[in-house]
Structure 1
Amino acid sequence: MSPRDTSFHASGDTLLDVRGLTVRTDDGRVLVDDLSFTVASGERLGLIGESGSGKSLTTLALLGLLPDGMTATGSVELAGTQVVGAPEKRLTAVRGRDAAVVFQEPLTALDPLMRMGRQIAEPLARRTGLKGRELNSAVTEALVRVRLSEPDRIARAFPHEISGGQRQRVALAMALACDPGLLIADEPTTALDVSVQAEMLDLLDTLVREREMAVLFVSHDLAVVAKVTDRVLVLKDGRAVEEGPVLDVVTAPRAEYTRALVAGARKLESALDLRSPR
């Protein structure tokens, strides 16, 4: 199959506008340094870098989720809302509605003491006002949409009672339940085995295309990023070292660090060959 068009969608509205984002610890260490980028509506941006490059901290800062002891400065506008310095009430309104996140390990995002169905139902009820049978039907539909073959059983289960791949699909169902404009996928397939990873990437691609959502796909795996994104931003030590259309970056990298990532990427050629057209 021929690769899809990877040119930047300049005509799309800017959904996420990041300017000079810096993340510091309370003792003054800079972990993300003066980072700027945009994501247009419907665009897919890959954020690539090795462990410790600042990828995950960047995604947390985008939703005001930095842990205690860290502070963000600069500007993060998400669907017109300024995130940096915003009160928690405003951030709560943004999360799920304008952007949602799927993390590498869903056990960190799922409540171990709450059944899966209820974890999807609560944000749905808040956003849509659905109740009773209508809410239950919406939960079942959300689970079916992520290709879970036994939605009723999954809805009744606790996180420890289902597999890692099933938990990741539930986490994806939760993220998509309120139809956010931007999906942030932070290493969503890293903890899965190869076959389950391929299924998850295919599912993610299909759902995002159907909903015409924007995606910020975070990974250390350049081959995975090459499969699912339009543009790529390369991070090293919290700073951007290269940015551009994904095919340009992986076939003619300018930065020495990017060249090293390309040289070390597994199955990169097959990833480029198998990219599906939009």
Structure 2
Amino acid sequence: MNVLDVSGLGIRTSDGRALVSDVSFSVGSGGRLGLIGESGSGKSLTALAVMGLLPPGMTATGSVVLEAPGLPRTEVIGAAERQLVGLRGRAAAVVFQEPLTALDPLMRVGRQIAEPLRRRRGLRGAALKRAVGEALDQVRLPERAARAYPHEISGGQRQRVAIAMALACEPALLIADEPTTALDVTVQAEVLALLDSLVSERAMALLFVSHDLAVVAGATDRVVVLKDGEAVESGSVDDILHAPRHPYTRNLVTSARHLEGALERTIR
């Protein structure tokens, strides 16, 4: 079963300027797909369109269909907000790049994790408190973190909280939109390893959005390469790394290898 089917997706501004044009891909149950491209390539807008969260003034055309066990197959484009609210969290959930802006600065971490558990799973009282503790444990945070405000914990810990919130309703599809870009290299590796283990344990589908080819290659099985809002190439990670066809993809691969070589020389 495909959890996500995107066909001929287009995104335009209010004055008709095309930001994304004719993008198509699918993600099967348990599959892992990477969207890669430089800033302005349309990858994050594509992820927002999947969730029905495009900024005001932007419109989407084409088809974006989400399907999950226990939920009807739903066309996102043109759907009423009440339909989308029912899908978010259960069919698909998203982890954004900067957790400090995604979290409420005036609400304790435990309460923020509790909200989706209360709304979607109907938990209350001791059962809710226990579920919050379990959610924190799954992302390797101590239970005392529930009492902290977002500014009182580190960036890596905040991103773990955001992951816990996204996974609270056990979505069929997790969208990770540049989830480690704001973190230092060591914390980035820890968060990526955590995401990998959680996605595997829950047999979720993953849509991983990034400008970093090395990160995408480590997190996904298939890749769609975006440039100026268009999909210029797609294929398995192995094909993209070892036999890129489009000049833009070849440049991405060459740049990634040059960076890797420079890092190795610095370490030596």
TM-score, scaled to structure 1: 0.90
Calculate percent identity across the aligned residue pairs: 71
- 1-side partners of 2:143 and 2:38: how far apart? 36
Match of 1:19 in 2: 7
Number of residue pairs aligned between Structure 1 and Structure 2: 255
Runs of at least 4 residues off by over 6 Å: none
Amino acid aligned to 2:102: A
State the Cα deviation string for residues 162-217 of structure 1 (Å, max 9, x = none).
11000000000000111000000000011110110111111111010000110000
| Aligned with 1:241 (options 229, 232, 243) | 232
Gaps of 5+ in 2: 68-72, 264-268
Give 1:63-102 correspondences, 5 Å limit: 63-79=51-67, 80-102=73-95
**Which residue of structure 2 aligns with residue 199 of structure 1?**
190
In the alignment, the residues of structure 2 paired with residue 36 and residue 252 of structure 1 have an alpha-carbon distance, to the nearest angstrom, of: 21
Query: What does the per-residue CA deviation read over 1:96-145, in whole Å, with 9 as the maximum and x for residues that have no partner?
Result: 00100000101221111111111111111111111001000000100110
Query: Who is 2:132 aligned against?
Result: 139
**Match 2:143 to one of 151, 154, 161:** 151
The SS at the match of 1:244 is strand
One-letter code aligned to 1:111: D
Deviations 1:5-33 (A, max 9, x none): xxxxxxxx111000111000000100010
Q: Summarize the alignment of residues 22-33 of structure 1 with structure 2, pairs less than 5 Å apart.
A: 22-33=10-21
Matched letter for residue 135 of structure 2: A
Structure-2 separation of matches of 1:151 and 1:72: 41
- Corresponding residue number in structure 2 for 1:173: 164
The answer to whether residue 96 in structure 2 is matched with residue 103 in structure 1 is yes
1:212 corresponds to 2:203: yes
2: CA distance between counterparts of 1:116 and 1:89? 26
RMSD: 1.1
Q: Give the Cα–Cα distance (whole angstroms) in 2 for the partners of residues 106 and 74 of structure 1.
A: 30
Q: Quote the offset at 1:267 in angstroms.
A: 3.0
Residues in 2 aligned to 1:151 and 1:55: alpha-carbon distance in whole angstroms: 35
Segments of 5+ residues of structure 1 without an aligned counterpart are 1-12, 271-278
Could you say which residue in structure 2 is the equivalent of 1:9?
none
